[in-house]
Chains A and B, each alone.
Chain A
C-alpha cells in the first residue's frame, strides 16, 4: 500500500456556554457549538490529473457527488418543437432533462457529468437551552447539519413497490396534466441515464427535549425517600428539511440492493419516567 495523494484539511470548532438568566427561582443556560471542516485534494499521483474513476478531483473535497445536472423535466410542447433533437434525441415527455454540458447534442456519461456537491456537511451546529424554574427543568437540544448532498434512492427508484414503500404520492410525478418540472413521469425509461437524484440532505432537528420535575425535599422526606424526579423525554421530535423520504440520515436502499433488508427509518421516541433514590 502506498499513498496516492495529498489532502488539505482546515477546520474550526467554536463552543459558547452562557448563563443568560441566573436568578434564585429561574435559570436559563445555553450551550452553542458550531464546527466546520473543509478538506480538499491537493495532489493525486503527482501528475496534476483528476481521477474521475474514483471521483477524486484536485481542489475538491474527497467526497463529492459527481453526476448529471438535472435542469428540469421534458415537457410535451418542447418535444413537439423538437428541442430535444439536438440535446437528448431519445427524450420523451416526462423524462428527466439533463444538462448537455459539452453541448454535443446528446447526453453521455463521459461528457455531461459534473460535480454536484459534497457528501460531507459544510458545517454542523448544536444548541442546548436549559430552563429551570423551581423544581421544573426544561432542556431542548437542537442540531443542524448543512451543506451536503446525498443520492435520493427513493426518487431514483420511482416505485412504491406495490405499497411496500411509503411516501410516493407526496412527490407529484409528471403527467401530461401535472407538468412537474422537478419530478419525472413514472415511465420506466424516464430516467434512462441513471441520474441518481443527488439532493440537499441538510436538516435541522429538535433532537432531544426533556422536561422534568423534582419534588421538593420536604415532600420526599415525608415519603421517606432520598429524591423523586418525574420526567418526560422526547427524541427526534421534529425535523426541518427539504429532503423527500424518510429522513436525510436514514438509509433507504432499493429492494434487491445490498443491505436493503436493513433499511430503517429514523425513529421518534417519547419516554416517561420516574427517578427515585432511597
Chain B
C-alpha cells in the first residue's frame, strides 16, 4: 500500500498546481513499475532488503519489544515507547507506529513479490523465492490481524477499495505459494549465495503455517525432510573463530563471524547476513536495534566498559520475563549457561577498585545501610548491582543479539547476522505437529534430540546420563511452547508464536497471576482476550481506503 501513497503524493503535487492551464497537466509516463524479466534478480534482492528494513527499523527503537513484551517471554525494561501498549494493553490504538510499520512493510513486500510472480518468463526458482516472501507476509498478517485484504496482482494504479478477505482464502494462497516454493527453491548449498532462500526455509515456514491452520499431518510431512535429508546437524562442539574466548558450543552459534554455514554453523537454515556499511555499501540496512533491546545496559555500572566478549553496549529496553528467568530452565541446560542467559558479570574496567556496601542478597545498597556489609571490589570480581538496576541496567539477559563494533562504541546499529531459522526449529515444529496429532512418543523423541545437545556437558560432568530427558507423558502444547522459549528465546517472534497457537490469552493470564512483575508500571495490564489476540488495523489504512470499508478488529477505536 506504499505504492498507493506514492501515487497519492504525486497526485497531491499535481493538485497544488491545478490553477495552471489544463494541458500543463497532460503527462507522459516514462516509466512505470516494470515487469521486465531481466529485473527479476535485482527485485529478489530487493525483497531481502525490505525484509531487513522491516525488522531492522530504528525509527521507533522499541519495535523489537512489541513482539516480546506483554507475552510470557518479555518484560519492559528502559522502554522507548512504541512497545508500551503491548503490555499496557488498554492503551493500544490503531495509530501505534509499530503496527503501521509492520502492516505497511508486509504489504510492500507482498506487492513487490506479486510483481515478480506475475512477470512473464520468470524462472521457477526466482518465482519460488518471491512466493516464499509473499507467504511469509500473509502468514504473519493473518496470524496477527485475522482477516486481511488479499492482493495477488501487481498494484499499478491506486486502489481505495480494499476489503478483508476470509482467512481460508488467504490460507489457500499461502499453501499454494509454499507448496510451489518447496518444489522449486534450490536445496541448501545450491542457492546462488548462502544468504538466499533455500528449500528448507520454505519447509519450516510451511510447517508453521500448517500448524496454525490445524493441518498437523501436513506440517509434520513438510518439515521432516529438513531433519531427515541430513544437510544440517545440531552444534555439539565448540567451533569457529572464538575458540580462545570463554563460551560454549551453544553460544558459538550466535557470535558474528560464526553464524554462517560457511563459517561452521551446521545448524543454520536461514541466516540473514549483515556487513559493515564501510566495507559493503548497504551492508547493514537501517539500524537494527536488537542488541539495544535485548542486552542489558550494564555499561552504566561503574567498573564496566563495553567489550566484544560481553556483546557491546545494550540499552536494556527489553528484559526477560520472570517466567523465563525463574520458570523454565532445569539445572544443567547449556541454553541457560551464563554465556547464553547472562546472570553474572565480572568487573572488566582495567585497574578498577571501589568500596561498596551490599545487602544479604548481594545487592548494592547505600553506604551505612543497616545490616549491609562493606566490601572492596576490583577488576575481575563479581559485579554487584542495586535492586533498582534490575529494571534496566543489569538483569539476566539473552546474549544472542550481542555484538560489538569497534568503530561504534556507543552502539547504535547492530551489525550482525540474524539467526532466523535453524535445525532446532524443525525439531520443535515436528514435535508440535506430533503432539497435536497425538503422537506423544514421536514428539518426545524429537525433543530429546534437542535435550541430548542441551545437556551434553552436564551429563558428562555429573554422570547423570538421564539429565534433561523427556518422556511421552511430558508432551503437551504447553511443553512445546516452553521448550521453544528454552531453545529460541530472543530468536522467535513470541507474539506471533502465541497467536499462531492460540495461546496468547492463556500465557498472559499466567503471567498476570503467577509471574507478574514486581513494579506496577512494568506489569501486564488491560488485556482483554476478546480484543488483544488480534492487532488493530492501522487507522490510516482504513481512512485512505475511501471506496470500501476496511473493518476494524473488534474493540479498537
* Chain A residues proximal to chain B, CB less than 8 Å: 1, 3-9, 39, 41, 45, 49, 51-54, 56, 62, 89-90, 106, 108-111, 188-189, 191-194, 254-258
Provide the bound-state CA to CA distance between A109 and B91, in Å: 12
- A255 contact set on B, CB distance < 8 A: 58
Whether the pair B544, A4 counts as a contact (CB closer than 8 A) is: no
Provide the bound-state CA to CA distance between A110 and B94, in Å: 9
With A188-B79, A256-B58 as known contacts, state yes or no: A1 contacts B15, CB within 8 Å.
no
- B10 contact set on A, CB distance < 8 A: 1
Does any Cβ of A come within 8 Å of B29's Cβ? yes
Whether the pair B94, A109 counts as a contact (CB closer than 8 A) is: yes
1/0 per residue B73-91: CB within 8 Å of A? 0000001110011001011
State which residues 13-40 of B face A: CB under 8 Å. Answer: 14-16, 18-19, 25, 27, 29
Provide the bound-state CA to CA distance between A53 and B79, in Å: 30
Q: Which of A1, A6, A51 contacts B29 (CB 8 A)?
A: A1
Whether the pair A194, B15 counts as a contact (CB closer than 8 A) is: no
Shortest C-beta distance, B171 to chain A (Å), equals 29
User: How many residues on the B side are at the interface (Cβ–Cβ under 8 A)?
Assistant: 40
Q: Which residue of B lies closest to A90 (CB)?
A: B91
Whether the pair A192, B94 counts as a contact (CB closer than 8 A) is: no
Does any Cβ of A come within 8 Å of B277's Cβ? no
Q: Which of A5, A111, A256 contacts B557 (CB 8 A)?
A: A111
- B543 contact set on A, CB distance < 8 A: 51-53
Does any Cβ of A come within 8 Å of B95's Cβ? yes
Whether the pair A189, B91 counts as a contact (CB closer than 8 A) is: yes
Shortest C-beta distance, A37 to chain B (Å), equals 11
- A193 contact set on B, CB distance < 8 A: 93, 95
Does any Cβ of A come within 8 Å of B213's Cβ? no
Provide the bound-state CA to CA distance between A193 and B93, in Å: 8
Does any Cβ of A come within 8 Å of B290's Cβ? no
1/0 per residue B36-76: CB within 8 Å of A? 00000000000000000000011111000000000000000
Q: Which residue of B lies closest to A189 (CB)?
A: B84
Q: Which residue of A lies closest to B97 (CB)?
A: A194
Q: Which residue of A lies closest to B541 (CB)?
A: A53
- B542 contact set on A, CB distance < 8 A: 53
Whether the pair A3, B14 counts as a contact (CB closer than 8 A) is: yes
Q: Which residue of A lies closest to B92 (CB)?
A: A192
Shortest C-beta distance, A40 to chain B (Å), equals 12
Whether the pair A9, B19 counts as a contact (CB closer than 8 A) is: yes
Provide the bound-state CA to CA distance between A164 and B36, in Å: 46
Whether the pair A54, B12 counts as a contact (CB closer than 8 A) is: yes
Shortest C-beta distance, A97 to chain B (Å), equals 15
Whether the pair A192, B15 counts as a contact (CB closer than 8 A) is: no
> A1-B14, A3-B18, A7-B18 known; 18 other A-B pairs, CB under 8 Å?
A1-B10, A7-B16, A7-B19, A39-B16, A49-B546, A62-B12, A90-B88, A90-B90, A90-B91, A108-B557, A109-B93, A109-B539, A110-B539, A188-B80, A188-B81, A192-B85, A194-B95, A255-B58
Provide the bound-state CA to CA distance between A142 and B8, in Å: 37
Shortest C-beta distance, B190 to chain A (Å), equals 37
- A254 contact set on B, CB distance < 8 A: 59
Q: List 7 A-B contacts (CB under 8 A).
A: A3-B25, A4-B11, A4-B15, A51-B543, A62-B16, A188-B84, A254-B59
- B84 contact set on A, CB distance < 8 A: 188-189, 192
Shortest C-beta distance, B293 to chain A (Å), equals 13
Does any Cβ of A come within 8 Å of B287's Cβ? yes
Provide the bound-state CA to CA distance between A189 and B57, in Å: 21
- B513 contact set on A, CB distance < 8 A: none
Provide the bound-state CA to CA distance between A57 and B61, in Å: 33
Does any Cβ of A come within 8 Å of B279's Cβ? no
Q: Which residue of B lies closest to A194 (CB)?
A: B95
- B88 contact set on A, CB distance < 8 A: 90, 189
Question: Which of B8, B18, B84, B545 has most chain A Cβ within 10 Å?
Answer: B18
